[in-house]
Amino acid sequence: MIERLETHRVETFGDGAYEWSTATASYAVDPLDPGTSRITDLSLVPTGADGKVRFTGDVVILRPRAGGNGRALLSVPNRGFTQLPFSVDAIPGGAGTPPSAGDAYLLARGWTVALPGWQWDVPAGLIGIDAPVLDVAPGQLRADFRIEAPVNERRIGDSVPGGLGMPGVDFACYPAADVDDPNATLRVRVAQMGPGKLVPRSEWSFTSPTRVALRGGFRPSHWYELIYRSTHAPVAGVGLLALRDMGAHLRRDHGGVLAHGISQSGRLLREFLFQGLNVDEEGRKVFDGVFADIASARRGEFNRRYAQPGLLAPMMPEYGPPYDSASLLARQRSRGAVPKVMLTNSAWEYWRGDGALVHQDPVTGADLPEDPDVRVHLLSGTDHIGSAPAIKAMMPLANPPHELNPLPIHRALLEQLVQWALNGVRPEPSSVPRISDGTAVTRETVLKAFAPAAVPDLDVLPYTPDLDPGSAPWPIEFGAPQLALVSAVDATGNERAGIRLPAVETGIASYTGWNPRRHIDGLPDVLYDMLGSRIPRPSRQAPTVGELRRAAESLVQRRFLLADDVELAVGQALAELRDPDADAGERQLPGAGG
C-alpha cells in the first residue's frame, strides 16, 4: 500500500483546468501476501517492526481542479519519461518537466492521469524508483548492446542516444565484481539472432567496474554480449508493486481505473498480469482495464535478480512463454479480478517474429480461441516508432520509411475498452491474421511480392526461439524457432488483416512493418529495428480527399475510429501522401476537394 504521498510541487497545467504535481510515494508491502510474494528476492529484504518492506518512488499526477469524469488512467512511464497518452503532438517530459499537453485528449474528457516511477535503473531527472538493494554473493549476468558508431570503450549498461530536443539516457548498470575475472566473456554477432563469436580475453578489458574496452574498437552494426559477475542486486520487481499500489490508491477516489503502457511499459503490464497482481493486499481489484500497445507476446527483465529493465534489444528468457492471452492470464484467473485487456501491435512486432504468438499456436500456427477478456488488434502496415520523420530520417534504411500514425485508432480502442470494462458493452472482435481465413502466412511468402524493393536476407530474419523463461543461462540457450506468421498482402502490397488506416486502405503505396538496414558490404542485410517501409506503387492513382474520408467513415462504422477524429485521420493521411521523399511523378497529390 501507499503509506504516504508527499507532494513537492504543484503548478497549473495546460489551460488552467488541470494541475500537474510531483510527489514521492512511500510504499509498505507485506512480503507474505500471495501477490507480493511473487517478487524475486523481496523475502531477503529487511522488514520493519510490522513485518513490512518499504521503498519509495517518484510520482507525477495530472488531475482536474474541479469536476472530472471520475475515472483515472495509470500511464506507465516508458524508460523514465512522462507522456500524456492518446494526445496528438504530446512531447515527453521527466520528473521535473511537465509533458506537453498536445491536444490534451484525456484532459478534455476529465480523466485523472497518474505516472508512477517503477524502473530502478533510470538516471536522476526521470521518473524512477528507489528499489531495495541486496549485497549478494557474486552472480552471473550479461550486458547486450548494438554498436552504432565506432568506439574503443563504452559503458556496460545500455543507452538511448539523445537528439531532436530529447536528452540521451544512460541506464544504470551492474558493476563488475572483479575487473580481472578470467571467466568473463565477450561475444560478437553480425545479426541479432546470429551465432556469437568469442572474443579472446586478451583483446578486451574492464577499464573500471562499469566500463569495457576492446582492442581495435567496437564495430558499427555489430551486436556484443558481455557475460560477467556482480554483487549488486536491486530488487527490481518492486516496480510491479508500485503499479499495483498506485492503482489501488487511485481507486479510492475514482469509479473506474485503467492502466496503459507502450512498448517497454506495455511489456511490464503483461508481466503484471502474468504475475496475477491485479489484486491489492486487501483482496480488491486494482485495474478495471489494461491497454498494452506494441508489447507483442513479450514480457521483460522486470522481476529477477540482476534484472535490467532498460535493456533495448537482447533476447531474454522472459521473451519465452506464456505468449497467448489465456496462458498469460492463468494465474490472475486463479486469484480473480481479471481486467478487460486491449492488446495492439504494429506490423513490426509480427515481422520481428513474435506478434502472432499472442493468438496462434507457436508450433503449428493454428488459430487460438478468442479469450473472453482480451481483444488483440494488428494495426496494418504500421511500425513500432509511428510518426517521427526527423528520427527516421537519421536511420540507415534501405527503403524510404513511412509516417503512419495509429493514434486515431488507439483512441477508438480506448473507448471500446472503457465501455467494456466499466459498462459491459462488448468490444469488436480481434482483428488479426488467421490461418482459418488465409490471412496468416510466412514472412518468406510475403517478401516474394516485393522483389523490386530492398528486402532482408531470409536467413537472418529475427525469430522467437523456444526458451525456458524460468532459467537464465548465459549465453542464453536458444531452442527451435517458434513459427513466425504475418499478414498476407493484397494486390497493392498492403496487409489484408488488421485495422487499416485510410492511407493503407486506399493503397497509393505499400506500407510494411519491415525495412532492411542499408546494405553494408561484408554484412548480412538484416531488418532494422522497429521501422517499416513505404514502397510506391507507380500504377496507382493517389486517392482523393473524398476517398480518404470514406475510408475513415468506414472505420467509424466499425467502431475503430471516433466520429470526432475523422478529419484528424484524413489530415494525417494527406500528410503521409505528401511525403517529400516520394517521387512526385509517380502519383498525383489530392486536391482540396472531395
d(Cα 105, Cα 409) in Å, to the nearest integer? 13
**pLDDT, average across residues 387-395:** 88
**pLDDT, average across residues 511-536:** 96
pLDDT of residue 74: 98
> Which residue type occupies 208?
S
> Is 430 in contact with 377 (CB distance < 8 Å)?
yes
Sheet holding 185-189, edge to edge: 133-147, 222-234, 185-189, 197-199
pLDDT of residue 489: 97
**pLDDT, average across residues 136-164:** 87
Look at 591 and 474; give whichever has higher pLDDT. Answer: 474
Question: Cell triple for residue 526?
Answer: 538484416
Where are the strands (E) in 89-203, listed by range? Answer: 112-116, 129-130, 133-147, 151-155, 159-160, 169-170, 185-189, 197-199
Q: Model confidence over 431-485: pLDDT tens digits?
A: 999 999 999 999 999 999 998 789 999 999 999 999 998 877 899 888 899 999 9
**pLDDT, average across residues 198-208:** 98
In Å, what is the CA distance from 585 to each residue of 103, 400, 507, 542, 581?
35, 16, 17, 11, 12
pLDDT of residue 578: 73
Burial category of 183 from C-beta neighbours within 10 Å (exposed 0-12, middle 13-18, buried 19 and up): exposed
**pLDDT, average across residues 145-165:** 83
Stretch among 389-393, 431-435, 443-447, 497-501 having the lowest mean pLDDT: 389-393
pLDDT of residue 372: 98
**pLDDT, average across residues 530-536:** 95
State yes or no: pLDDT of 408 exceeds 80: yes
CATH of 133-234, one of 2.30.30, 2.60.40, 1.20.1050, 1.20.58: 2.60.40
> Is 75 in contact with 114 (CB distance < 8 Å)?
yes
**pLDDT, average across residues 304-328:** 94
Name the pLDDT band for 344 (thresholds 50, 70, 90). very high
pLDDT of residue 587: 27
State yes or no: pLDDT of 350 exceeds 80: yes
State yes or no: pLDDT of 513 exceeds 90: yes
> Does the pTM exceed 0.85?
yes
pLDDT of residue 590: 25
**pLDDT, average across residues 532-560:** 93
